[in-house]
Structure 1
Amino acid sequence: MSIHARLSGSVRLPGGRELITGDVYESRGAGTRRALLFHGTDLEVHELEDLFAGERAPAAVFPMPWPGWDRGGASVSPDGTLAVFSGQRAVRAVGADGTALWEYRHPCWGPVLGHAHTGDEQQVCYGSEHGSVRVSDDGRFVWAHVLAPGEEQPEECWSVLDARDGRELARLPLDDSAAAGSRHLSHPDGVHMGLCIGMGQDGILLYWARWDGERPTVWDLNESLDRILVDVHPAHEGFLTVEHYGHDLSLHALDGEVLAEQSEPTWDHAAGFVDADTVIATTGVVYDKGPRHWLLDARTLEIRGSVTYSHGPVPGLVRPLGDGSWLTYEEKSETLNRWTVR
């Protein structure tokens, strides 16, 4: 069955491909949806609704603290006045005027043990390994995947920092991790935080946590999972994962219990909730020939049909927004498109 999509908006956005394929999209519940795009030595923050309404200027611009470091990503506070960057040797908070507000130092992500650093400033060392950060939806905390000193070599941990001054409030050891990189995903309830750690061919680690006011509670979901965290339900009913090699798409309760799964066909590493009732997922971009977009039931993951577009096939991955729409990107025209079901 074919399901027809309607184009509801378009905007030219150089670099917008990262909004679809990377970790630069930041949603905060049913409210703010942002594109955090790196442009030269700056982080540009675009409010998606304003962007599609014709506002091309970014809502905020933050200077990147470490020239030459292009990994680890950033997160912006709910009020847009603070950006937190994940560096190779530190997490740093920057104000809208470029002022460094605080810095949380940690051992270097560079894979060569015992390599030297000169001076106190951030040095960009060999290696692409990195952590990630996320400001909580209430703006009070920063969740950071970082390194901590160990007996023989640095050890990975998940730290909770005070967003006001960078003070560490809690540290959770991640004993099984050997990260190539990671990403955070904030739950729409504003309380829970997800962390997905990629370890290359060694697999995926997945955690959920919540802060109860004094200490974090963590769910380690790695005993039976080797899965990529891709999205969380807009009405707090569960989260979606894709098996490491695309063998199946699954819906889980927060404790990891599988509520539904779909094993045909082989899925790409991108999927999510168009709205509370509908999932969109792609095939053919990573593993198979002939990219296609599919709509599925959000509770059973039964396939409703493949998506057809008015001007022909739309290649590449999608970015669902949870409000009944999703995004695609046209490389040649550098155009970001927004779609809904007719």
Structure 2
Amino acid sequence: MSITAQLHDSVKLHGGAALVNGFGLENRTHAPCRALLQNGHELEVYDLHDVFAGELAPTTVFPLPWPGWDRGVHSVSPDATFAVFSGQRAVRAVGPGGELLWEYRHGCWGPLLGHAHTGDEQEVCSGLEHGSCRVSDDGRLVWAHVVLEPEEQDWQECWVVLDARDGRELARLPLDSAASGSHHISHPDGLHMGLCIGMGQDGIMLHWARWDGEKLIGWDLNETLDRILMDVHPGHPGFLTLEHYGTDLRLHALDGTVLAEGAPEPSDEEDPLCWDYGCGFVDADTVIASTVDSDEDPDMACHWLLDARTLRIRGAITYPTGRVDGYACPLGDGTWLTYDNASGTLHRWAEATS
């Protein structure tokens, strides 16, 4: 079955590819959906509603605390009064003028153990490894994936909870990971936080936790899962994961119980279709997923809509503008984004009603 997409909005947005191919989108239950886009030595924050209404100036701009550091996954507070940056050797909170609010020092993500530092705060060590951070939806906590200082342990990654007012560590959870990168997802209940750690060919680690005001209660799903944490939705009881190599999508209860599973449609090709990394909740009833590898095999590019309760495929999406390459990024409000790299245009779509 073919499902026709309807174009809602289009706008040229420099760097907008990070919204569908990276971690440039920060979506919260009770805050505007924002684009966090790095432009030179600055992090530009856009309200997506304003962008599609024609306001192309960022609502807030935060100078990067380490201009030479271009990795890490950063976060902005729900009221956009401060940003928290995941650096190579520290987590920093800064105001819009670049003023340092606080700093939480940690070990270096550089993979060479025991390497020296010059003391220069702008020094960037070799390696692509990085952590991530996320401001909680109430703005009171900062969750961060970090490495312990070398004098504490030769190599130990931790998940820490910090007080957003001053960066004071409230709790830490030791991890068994050796990350190449990570990202966080806030649960819509406002209590739980998810952490997904990518370890390259060594697989994926997935954790959930909550801070009850006195202690950190965490659990991992790694005995049975090698899956990427993709999305949650306030109108849906489960969270969505993708198998490391794209063989299937699954919905899970918060304890990891599998609620539904969906595989791509069978193919006559020698290599079976696999899901790619663009998927999530269009709304509480619908999931969008991609069978697309636009870099290696653009002819296989396709987006699909699935039932969000059963993960049964409803149909492939047909775009009135013709072929749409790349991933699709759902916004949870019934629409999704695609990005045209050739023209630098961000498109917002919905399922056609007639």
Q: Which residue of 2 aligns with 1:161?
A: 162
**Residue 273 of structure 1 pairs with residue 281 of structure 2:** yes
Q: Which residue of 1 aligns with 2:148?
A: 148
Instruction: Tell me which amino acid in the other structure corresponds to 1:158.
Output: W
Contact 2:207 2:218 in 1 (8 A): yes
1:37 and 1:284 map into 2 onto residues whose CA distance is 24
Offset, 1:14? 1.2
Contact 1:4 1:309 in 2 (8 A): yes
Q: Which residue of 1 aligns with 2:269?
A: none
Q: Secondary structure at the match of 1:269?
A: coil
Q: Secondary structure at the match of 1:256?
A: coil
**Residue 335 of structure 1 pairs with residue 349 of structure 2:** no
Choose from 299, 324, 327 the match for 1:314.
324
Q: Which residue of 2 aligns with 1:69?
A: 69
Contact 2:68 2:122 in 1 (8 A): no
Instruction: Tell me which amino acid in the other structure corresponds to 2:50.
Output: D
Contact 1:234 1:275 in 2 (8 A): no
Unaligned regions of 5+ residues in structure 2, if any?
A: 265-272
2:115 and 2:327 map into 1 onto residues whose CA distance is 39
**Residue 302 of structure 1 pairs with residue 302 of structure 2:** no
Unaligned regions of 5+ residues in structure 1, if any?
A: none
Instruction: Tell me which amino acid in the other structure corresponds to 1:279.
Output: V
Q: Which residue of 1 aligns with 2:174?
A: 173
- Decide which moves more: 110-119 or 274-283: 110-119
Q: Secondary structure at the match of 1:51?
A: helix
**Residue 58 of structure 1 pairs with residue 55 of structure 2:** no
1:55 and 1:215 map into 2 onto residues whose CA distance is 43
Percent identical pairs in the alignment equals 68
Q: Secondary structure at the match of 1:32?
A: strand
Contact 2:304 2:316 in 1 (8 A): yes
Contact 2:31 2:78 in 1 (8 A): no
TM-score (norm 1): 0.97
Provide runs of 4+ in structure 1 moved above 6 Å: none
Cα deviations by residue, 1:92-135 (Å, 9 ceiling, x for unpaired): 00001110110000111101111111126242001111100000
Instruction: Tell me which amino acid in the other structure corresponds to 2:225.
Output: L
Choose from 288, 291, 307 the match for 1:283.
291
Instruction: Tell me which amino acid in the other structure corresponds to 2:285.
Output: D
Aligned-residue CA RMSD in angstroms?
Answer: 1.3
Q: Secondary structure at the match of 1:145?
A: strand
Offset, 1:6? 0.4
Instruction: Tell me which amino acid in the other structure corresponds to 2:293.
Output: V
TM-score (norm 2): 0.94
Cα deviations by residue, 1:70-93 (Å, 9 ceiling, x for unpaired): 000210000001000000000000
Distance 1:152 1:237, change over 3 A: closer
Contact 2:206 2:229 in 1 (8 A): yes
1:75 and 1:182 map into 2 onto residues whose CA distance is 13
Contact 2:108 2:149 in 1 (8 A): no
Offset, 1:145? 0.1
The total of aligned residue pairs comes to 341
Q: Secondary structure at the match of 2:162?
A: strand
Q: Secondary structure at the match of 2:300?
A: coil
